Amino acid sequence: MRKVMKSCGIISTLQALSRDPGADGAALSEVVRRYPFRTNEYYQGLIRQTGDPLWRQVMPDAMELSDDAGLQDPLAEEALSPVPNLVHRYPNRVLWLVSHECALHCRFCTRKRRWSSPLPMTGELLRDGLRYIRENPQVNDVLLSGGDPLLLDPSRLETILGELRHIPHVAVLRIGTRVPCALPERVTGELATMLARHHPLFLNIHFNHPREITEESRRACALLADAGIPLGSQTVLLRDVNDDAHVLGELFQTLLGLRVRPYYLMQMDLTRGTAHFRTPLSRGLEIVARLRNRISGMAVPQLVVDLPGGLGKVPLVPNRIEHIGEDHVVFRSYQGAPCRYPVREEEAREMREVLGMVRV
């Protein structure tokens, strides 16, 4: 019943749902036909019961088929790909999808459209991507994603990193990964040492819930941090998974103790088949406002929305300005208390003009 990938314990059948006697097998089979199921033995072992926050992240749900308003490609990645698998959205950086394999299929994934028809990174596509980056000297930052780059054979990943390091105008390399959280056994001392040969290289790890921080994931993060690799985290705000200030505060503060700097708290993308995970914009603003000054400032990530149509990320910030007078600004503290802050008249005028532009 289980399909197991050597050394990874990958599970791609619905046997993992057997602990849920109320599951509608026929309905879930239709979900999986459209959006394939994939998890692994390690992550499966972290699930305590049907419907818990980790269960919801990886288990198929019939509601995935009832979302007609969502977009197949909400960030217009395909339209912004000058060569297949390489997205050039911002002038100075590119997103390069170098792997089509994941340790998990997160049911809220922006790239669900690719699960049933992946585009593997062939030698030809690899050469096309490298050629594009070489021919565009404004690109100084390359983010490797997928799939998950840390599921590539380490020698293949090293080849990609080495080729990029030989391009003079590429200054920064980044890797987006869920492996240290979702399949930490893949992170070895040898892998960390190899990655460290390509500094400056940054890793952003996808953690969504405090229960994903285990002895194994701590060890994986320590190996990477000890190799001098700056670590950040990206968290997606998910209904009935982590849309709670206490849960996220615990997650972010714990990550900081692991030398993983919380980087983004991301509003759910408008991806088809994910509406049941989506929270109102106001919920993220409320959570960030509650966390500010209650946990370390270094542990509070940016709350961002990735705009549909490939228009890029914009920050969402709780408004602490109550009023702008002629010579003062009234702020609201994190405890809700008003504070009158003196400013020059021309400064107040400039603030009113800037904030007026923002409101428009």
Six token digits for residue 60: 């198929």
Q: Is 102 a catalytic residue?
A: yes
Strands (E), the chain: 10-11, 39-40, 86-90, 93-97, 141-145, 172-177, 201-206, 231-236, 260-266, 302-307, 312-316, 321-324, 328-332, 338-342
Q: Is 339 a catalytic residue?
A: no
Q: Is 292 a catalytic residue?
A: no
Q: Is 156 a catalytic residue?
A: no
Instruction: Give 143's strand partners.
Output: 95, 174
Per annotation, catalytic residue among 56, 73, 106, 114: 106
Q: Is 181 a catalytic residue?
A: no
Per annotation, catalytic residue among 61, 73, 148, 306: 306
The candidate with the shortest Cα–Cα distance to 143, out of 86, 103, 195, 100, is 86
Per annotation, catalytic residue among 43, 56, 61, 102: 102
The candidate with the shortest Cα–Cα distance to 184, out of 152, 212, 149, is 212
Q: Are 89 and 95 in contact (CB under 8 A)?
A: yes
Q: Is 67 a catalytic residue?
A: no
Q: Is 111 a catalytic residue?
A: yes
Q: Is 89 a catalytic residue?
A: yes
Query: CA 136 to CA 314: how far, in whole Å?
Result: 25
Per annotation, catalytic residue among 111, 114, 174, 178: 111
Per annotation, catalytic residue among 239, 261, 294, 313: 313
Q: Is 178 a catalytic residue?
A: no
Write down the residue that tokens 């391009």 correspond to.
Answer: 167
Q: Is 269 a catalytic residue?
A: yes
Residue 76's region, left for phi above 0, alpha for psi from -120 to 50, else beta, is left
Per annotation, catalytic residue among 43, 264, 269, 272: 269
**106 annotated among ligand-binding-site residues:** yes
Six token digits for residue 286: 């409320």
Query: CA 220 to CA 186: how far, in whole Å?
Result: 8
Per annotation, catalytic residue among 8, 34, 90, 244: 90
Identify the three-state secondary structure at position 260. Answer: strand
**Which residues belong to the annotated binding site for [4Fe-4S] cluster?**
102, 106, 109
Q: Which residues are annotated as a binding site?
A: 102, 106, 109
Q: Which residues participate in catalysis according to the annotation?
A: 89-90, 93, 102, 106, 109, 111, 269, 306, 313
